[in-house]
Amino acid sequence: MAQEFKNPDEEVVLGDEIDHVRLITLNRPRQLNVISSKVVTLLAEYLEKWEKDDNAKMVIIKGGGRAFSAGGDLKMFYDGRKSKDSCLEVVYRMYWLCYHIHTYMKPQVALVHGISMGGGASLMVPTKFSVVTEKTVFATPEASIGFHTDCGFSYMLSHLPGYLGEYLALTGARLNGKELVVAGLATHFVPSEMLPELEKRLISLNSGDKNAMRSAIEEFSINVQIEEESVLSKQSIINECFSKDSVEEIIKSIEAEASKEGNAWIGAVLKGLKRSSPTGLKITLRSIREGRKQTLAECLKKEFRLTINTLRMTISGDVYEGIRALTIDKDNAPKWDPSSLDKVDSDKVDLVFQPFEQGMEELQIPGKEECRWDGKYENSVWKMVDEPN
């Protein structure tokens, strides 16, 4: 008999215990399973409890409805803008949760059907097995609204082959399920109609045997390849453009490529970059570049600092303007300040990366424990050319 733990106020997260299997269901489908303070708290509580439970052998994470997780609750941040420390606790908890998922001692399977964006995708990519479908949509669009690529993605994206990480972080480009497997951000592609049967099969294993789990998933999965129209087939252009040292140089390189025959696809990329927050783009590029040489713990500590300084409007209020334009007024006409890349002061960008002033606590997580995210791209079918040293 499954034992279900219920929140009496709102069942935003369901936790089931089925013999040796533990099942987490994100249960806010009408809100696209957005990550709220309550969701973070419940996820952390379940994972911490089950990691200590000798009877728990496998954890399955899935989204209720047609979304896996659409990321952080932007309205929560917007409503808390006048009290800039009001979101401190939930941000702290979220980064701890990200670290915990990366370093979890028991095998996890993410069944990802639907939207998986931003912070929500941090529940997918680090798991031992991440199963996606033809309905899965992934993106990290934070830079476009004046924020930065967070929740461990300055680590995960920077460790992708070539300069795919910079491309995804700066453009917020969407990848479908097959592309996620090809790029190495997911492990298996399973047609959506087979996902319920896969879930039953995994539960029937009633163990944490990774080989048995892999074999079960492979029974339902299909092989994928790069499709001609996929952006992943443009690997040499991505490397050429997004390897540049600055956002300005990246845009200049994209403009040069866009003028060449057969490169019409890159026009949309250029348009999106020019529409994004100049401050968000510069902070994001620097964070990804630093992530190439940082550990997971170092990336999360840096991202926590960037998040708090951004919410405190240390150098710009673009994040609130971006949220306003996207989700509050929905006019899609943000007024960035500064309004262009050349007006973004490099010295001011340095400020958001600096340690907090005395009395403000940095993110405290272990720095020496080995990250258990094994760099899925290393076994992917896609290899970028001209990879950086």
Q: What pLDDT is stored for residue 358 in this prediction?
A: 74
Q: What pLDDT is stored for residue 255 in this prediction?
A: 95
The C-alpha torsion from 279 through 285 and 288 to 294, rounded to 10°, is -80
Active-site positions read 72, 119, 142, 150
Instruction: Identify whether the C-beta of residue 132 lies closer than 8 Å to the C-beta of residue 84.
Output: no
Residue (of 12, 15, 14) closest to 34 by Cα position? 12
Instruction: Identify whether the C-beta of residue 195 lies closer than 8 Å to the C-beta of residue 112.
Output: no
3-state secondary structure of 323: helix
Instruction: Identify whether the C-beta of residue 284 lies closer than 8 Å to the C-beta of residue 142.
Output: yes
Tell which wins on pLDDT, 57 or 83: 57
Across 1-15, 169-183, 261-275, the highest mean pLDDT is recorded for: 169-183
Instruction: Identify whether the C-beta of residue 366 lies closer than 8 Å to the C-beta of residue 297.
Output: yes
3-state secondary structure of 197: helix
3-state secondary structure of 67: strand
Domain-located, residue 375: no
Per-chain mean pLDDT for the chain = 88
Length of the chain: 389
Domain-located, residue 201: yes
Domain-located, residue 285: yes
Domain-located, residue 156: yes
Domain-located, residue 380: no
Per-residue H/E/C for 42-65: HHHHHHHHHHHCCCCCEEEEEECC
pLDDT digits (tens, 9 = 90+) for 270-294: 999 999 999 999 999 999 999 999 9
List residues bridging with 62 in a β-sheet: 25, 111
Tell which wins on pLDDT, 48 or 359: 48
pLDDT digits (tens, 9 = 90+) for 302-349: 999 999 999 999 999 999 999 999 989 999 999 999 999 999 999 999
Full residue range of the structural domain in which residue 319 is found: 3-368
Instruction: Please state the domain count of the chain.
Output: 1
Q: How far apart are CA 73 and CA 71, in angstroms?
A: 7
Residue (of 108, 111, 92, 103) closest to 41 by Cα position? 92
Instruction: Identify whether the C-beta of residue 119 lies closer than 8 Å to the C-beta of residue 94.
Output: yes
Peptide bond into 278 cis (omega under 30): no
Domain-located, residue 80: yes
**Average pLDDT, stretch 68-74?**
78
Exposure on the CB side of residue 249, measured as CA atoms within 13 A: 9
Domain-located, residue 241: yes
Lookup: tokens for 383: 């290899």
CB environment 213-236: b (16+ within 10 A), e (fewer): bbebbeebbeebebeeebbbbbbe
Instruction: Identify whether the C-beta of residue 68 lies closer than 8 Å to the C-beta of residue 115.
Output: yes
Q: How far apart are CA 195 and CA 300, in angstroms?
A: 32
Instruction: Identify whether the C-beta of residue 45 lies closer than 8 Å to the C-beta of residue 100.
Output: no
DSSP type of residue 325: I
Question: Picking from 132-136, 175-179, 245-249, 382-386, which range would have the lowest pLDDT averaged per residue?
Answer: 382-386
Q: How far apart are CA 118 and CA 98, in angstroms?
A: 12
3-state secondary structure of 194: helix
Domain-located, residue 103: yes
Q: How far apart are CA 124 and CA 127, in angstroms?
A: 6
Q: What is the DSSP string of 257-293?
A: HHTSTT-TTHHHHHHHHHHS-HHHHHHHHHHHHHHTT
Q: How far apart are CA 87 and CA 89, in angstroms?
A: 6
Q: What pLDDT is stored for residue 48 in this prediction?
A: 94
pLDDT digits (tens, 9 = 90+) for 187-241: 999 999 999 999 999 999 999 999 999 999 999 999 999 888 899 999 999 999 9
Whether 368 has a pLDDT exceeding 60, the answer reads no
CATH of the domain at 160: 3.90.226.10
